[in-house]
Amino acid sequence: MPHELGGPGTMGVADLLLGTGPVVQVVLWTLVLFSVVSWGIIIYKLNQISHARRESERFISLFWESKNLAAIHNGSVGLIRSPVAQVFRAGYQELLQLTRAKRQAVGAESGFSTDLGGVENVTRAMRRQANVETTKLEKGITFLATTGSTCRGCHIRPCRRRRRWSWSLA
């Protein structure tokens, strides 16, 4: 028995959906799926950015209150969601490696000195980590941009043709 639509003025959303063809239903469910995924990404990004902001603020206050780099490094260990703390940690680790390498070169008393690039290596390590942190924060944004750009023109409206309701994309 085919589904009967309600009387005049009593048509609901379920009546409209059941009165459409399979192609229209596939399009509608695809749009619903993209909407749900988009809202999931939006909620995830809001959570991620709020944690990053909060931990970065804690790191910045720790940075300006501390007198030495080791104390800042030790205090930043628990701030894994802070991009600023992660960039500092990468630079600090590179600085420690350079310091150890220079001490070993001096202690070995070799006749030549190897310049390890010092500040350039630290800067490179910090830039690399900044790129990693930026990539983490931008993850999922391309899906939102593509979906928003593509589905922008998908205005669905009911239209009545020959005693049957159908959906059209405007």
pLDDT at 100: 85
Contact criterion met (CB below 8 Å) for 85 and 79: yes
Q: CA 125 → CA 82, 128, 133, distances in Å?
A: 17, 5, 12
List, for residues 33-47, the tens digit of each pLDDT value: 988 999 999 999 999
Q: How does pLDDT run across 48-59, given as a tens digit for each residue?
A: 999 999 999 999
pTM of the model: 0.70
Instruction: Say what the pLDDT of residue 9 is.
Output: 58
- Distance set, CA 17 to CA 4, 37, 132, 156 (Å): 12, 21, 45, 12
More reliable by pLDDT, 155 or 67: 67
Q: In this structure, what are the phi and psi dihedrals at residue 169, rounded to the nearest 5 degrees?
A: -95, 125
**Tokens 């804690």 label which residue?**
58
pLDDT at 39: 92
Q: What is the pLDDT of residue 116?
A: 53
Inter-axis angle of helices 22-65 and 141-150, to 10 degrees? 140
